Amino acid sequence: MNGILLAAVMAAFNYTEPADTTTTDQAAWNALAPGTYSGWVSKDTHYRQRELPASLTAAPGDTTVTAWRGERLGLEALVATTEGIKDLRVKLSGWRDAEGRTAEWPGSEAALMRYVITNRFRSCGKLPEGLPEYTVNDMIDLPGSVADVKAREVRPVWVTVEVPREAAPGLYHSELILTGGGETLAVMPLSVKVLDRTLPATPDFFLDLWQQPYSVSRWAGVKPWSAEHIEALRPYMKMLARAGQKSATAILFYEPWGEQSNDKFEPMVATTKAKDGSWKYDYSVFDRYVDLCDEYGIAEVIECFSMVPWEMRFRYFDEAAGDYRWLDAKAGSQEYEALWNDFLKNFYNHLDQKGWSERTLVAMDERGLKEMKEARRVAQGAVPGIKMSLAGDYHPELEPDLDLYTLMIEDFFPAEVLARRKAEGKKSLLYTCCASPAPNMFSNSDPADNAWLPVYARATGFDGFLHWSFMNWTDNPLEDSRFFLFAPGDTYFIYPDGRSSVRYERMVEGIQLSEKLRILEKELLEKGDLAGYAALQEALLPVRTGAHTRHVSTAKVINDLQREANRQ
């Protein structure tokens, strides 16, 4: 048993699924005849653990969904029991085409969903005390997991369908099979209508989720950058690549973000001050990480954090002292310029040897304009033509030098700037963080928000979507999504040991949907189909206006657009 598996088993051993402690109306349960009920349910809502959803008893026993070839689909089912179920297990039967022939759909699987703790906080700053906690079925457990269901509890189930890229168009069938106590509880038919359309193998969507490899080594209990750490990172690399990730996010010097990270970001470049006062750099960790990302095709850019960290302190090993030392180097100081000038020259020499210079971006996280202009000056001085990135406010002064520029939702590039950036091949993204109550990707966000955000980003002219965190795990990420800062779940939306989440799966859905809309729009333009093009523009209006109201929810907007994209 290797380290990662051991860690997974250990974690599973210690895992206790949080219980919903809120009061539940028992009237619906009282009116229900004893037994176990199951049905396909909407994935647009969270289901309370001890509440009987009205939709369940009315839910049909089977479901048909429509998909493009190469699409990853999520479906949700739910089991409710008046009596309790011992050892609930779920699996998919084999797939068959319309003629009953066996079809291989690898990657399609069913899994139990799990509850994590959240609360209603949707803001920045310290998590307020005293907010009532509740649980949401955000986590999708590993296939093969088992759970007991107590009397008058529900258990949601997630089904992932990966439609093969080479599947012939037509209807395909499978069943979701639920067993409890070794007995078959339900066999729920599931049909997929595969259209004669194919999603590209790699989305033309710039997804930029900043990675936190040190959460993974901490959780796995392994040494950073050991072979075990690399293995533990692989499931996340795979998920990132599947979604459309384009950026390997590397850490140059210690701690770009200060205390807002639960796990410290260790430098991927080891900096040493030699006895003669010269600097030496060791790039072996950096190289290993970039190589790993490359393996998964996450290779469009390498973002290096950060020339303007939140605390302007750089750690290095001092050979003379035989220990680590800190250099305080504010932007604008001689120390800052000397440090970065020396480093960047050396770094780009290394990158040149690797053939990576052209895709490397020196990143700035939002700081004062003065500091950022100073960082740019130093960087351009050291490496003329160096590429840079920034996520933050729109600064016309910086824009021309930013090959990757990400604005917060509700901020916009001037139209002519966005058009010029596209023509120049520069990428312009949209991000959300704790400052946007909704739509967002918190554990308390509406599930459809995660699909809406990528669609909104592309429909309003951006090249893609950025989020500052993907796996910045809390101390106990399997059970509690709350961090001491920010809205709960803001720091991660993927779970340990390779577990997925509603938030990840629905983000993938949104990226795929934005791809469908892009492909359809391009096709209509190429075919010269004005009526079709105008109809598509009208269908895009609700997402372009940013509507997210009670009656025009993100779920409605996404479902309407999905229907439009899946019309034949």
Q: Which of 411, 422, 424, 522 binds a copy of itself (CB under 8 A)?
A: 411
Structure tokens at 425: 């091949």
Q: Is 559 a residue that touches a copy of itself (CB under 8 A)?
A: no
What is the DSSP code string of 154-210? EEEEEEEEE--TTPPSEEEEEEEEEEETTEEEEEEEEEEEEEEEE--SS-SSEEEEP
Q: Is 537 a residue that touches a copy of itself (CB under 8 A)?
A: yes
Q: Is 281 a residue that touches a copy of itself (CB under 8 A)?
A: no
C-beta of 440: minimal distance to a copy of itself in Å?
17
Per-residue burial over 373-412, b = 16 or more CB atoms within 10 Å of its CB, e = otherwise? bbbbebbeebbeebbbbbbbeeeeebbebbbbbbbbbeee
Q: Is 415 a residue that touches a copy of itself (CB under 8 A)?
A: yes
Q: Which stretch binds a copy of itself (CB under 8 A): 116-124, 297-305, 426-434, 526-534?
A: 526-534
Cα–Cα nearest to 292, from 208, 355, 232: 232
Q: Is 414 a residue that touches a copy of itself (CB under 8 A)?
A: yes
Only one residue has tokens 């910086």, namely: 398
Q: Is 423 a residue that touches a copy of itself (CB under 8 A)?
A: no
Q: How far is it, in rounded angstroms, from Cα 173 to Cα 185?
A: 19
Among the residues of 298-414, which ranges form H helices?
334-354, 369-382
Which is nearer to a copy of itself, 31 or 423 (by Cβ)? Answer: 423
Q: How far is it, in rounded angstroms, from Cα 453 to Cα 514?
A: 10
Q: In angstroms, how far is CA 200 from the centroid of its own chain?
A: 19
Which is nearer to a copy of itself, 118 or 553 (by Cβ)? Answer: 553
Strands lying side by side in the sheet with 279-282: 279-282, 270-273, 313-318, 323-328
Q: Is 530 a residue that touches a copy of itself (CB under 8 A)?
A: yes
Q: How far is it, in rounded angstroms, from Cα 272 to Cα 343?
A: 11
Residues in the chain: 568
C-beta of 348: minimal distance to a copy of itself in Å?
32
C-beta of 550: minimal distance to a copy of itself in Å?
8
C-beta of 25: minimal distance to a copy of itself in Å?
23
Contacts of residue 221, Cβ cutoff 8 Å, sequence gap at least 6: 3, 7, 10
Where in 459-478 is the site for a copy of itself (CB under 8 A)?
Answer: 460-461
C-beta of 62: minimal distance to a copy of itself in Å?
26
C-beta of 396: minimal distance to a copy of itself in Å?
7
Q: Is 549 a residue that touches a copy of itself (CB under 8 A)?
A: yes
Which is nearer to a copy of itself, 361 or 543 (by Cβ)? Answer: 543
C-beta of 173: minimal distance to a copy of itself in Å?
31
What amino acid occupies position 279?
A: W
What is the DSSP code string of 215-258? HHHHHHT--TTSHHHHHHHHHHHHHHHHHTB-EEEEE-SS-SSG
Q: Which of 533, 554, 555, 558 binds a copy of itself (CB under 8 A)?
A: 533
Interface with a copy of itself: number of residues (CB under 8 A): 31
Cα–Cα nearest to 449, from 531, 410, 504: 504
Q: Is 412 a residue that touches a copy of itself (CB under 8 A)?
A: yes
What one-character DSSP code corresponds to residue 480? Answer: B
C-beta of 243: minimal distance to a copy of itself in Å?
25
C-beta of 411: minimal distance to a copy of itself in Å?
6
C-beta of 413: minimal distance to a copy of itself in Å?
8
Q: With beta carbons less than 8 A apart as the criterion, state whether 363 and 304 touch.
A: yes
Which is nearer to a copy of itself, 165 or 522 (by Cβ)? Answer: 522
Helix (H, G, I), strand (E, B) or coil at 566: coil
Return the H-helix or E-strand segment holding 268. Answer: none
Contacts of residue 19, Cβ cutoff 8 Å, sequence gap at least 6: 49, 115, 135
C-beta of 230: minimal distance to a copy of itself in Å?
42
Q: Is 534 a residue that touches a copy of itself (CB under 8 A)?
A: yes
Q: Is 397 a residue that touches a copy of itself (CB under 8 A)?
A: no
Q: Is 560 a residue that touches a copy of itself (CB under 8 A)?
A: yes
Q: Is 556 a residue that touches a copy of itself (CB under 8 A)?
A: yes
Q: Is 535 a residue that touches a copy of itself (CB under 8 A)?
A: no
C-beta of 193: minimal distance to a copy of itself in Å?
23
Q: How far is it, in rounded angstroms, from Cα 3 to Cα 232?
A: 9
Q: Is 97 a residue that touches a copy of itself (CB under 8 A)?
A: no
C-beta of 68: minimal distance to a copy of itself in Å?
23
Q: Is 396 a residue that touches a copy of itself (CB under 8 A)?
A: yes
Which is nearer to a copy of itself, 274 or 525 (by Cβ)? Answer: 525
Helix (H, G, I), strand (E, B) or coil at 372: helix
Which is nearer to a copy of itself, 305 or 413 (by Cβ)? Answer: 413
Helix (H, G, I), strand (E, B) or coil at 552: coil
Q: Are strands 313-318 and 323-328 parallel, antiparallel or unpaired?
A: antiparallel
Q: How far is it, in rounded angstroms, from Cα 89 to Cα 309?
A: 47
Which is nearer to a copy of itself, 291 or 411 (by Cβ)? Answer: 411
Q: Is 542 a residue that touches a copy of itself (CB under 8 A)?
A: yes
Q: Which of 179, 546, 559, 566 binds a copy of itself (CB under 8 A)?
A: 546
Q: Which of 105, 281, 317, 394 binds a copy of itself (CB under 8 A)?
A: 394
Interacting residue ranges for a copy of itself, rule: CB under 8 A: 394, 396, 410-415, 460-461, 525, 528-530, 533-534, 537-539, 541-542, 544-547, 549-552, 556, 560
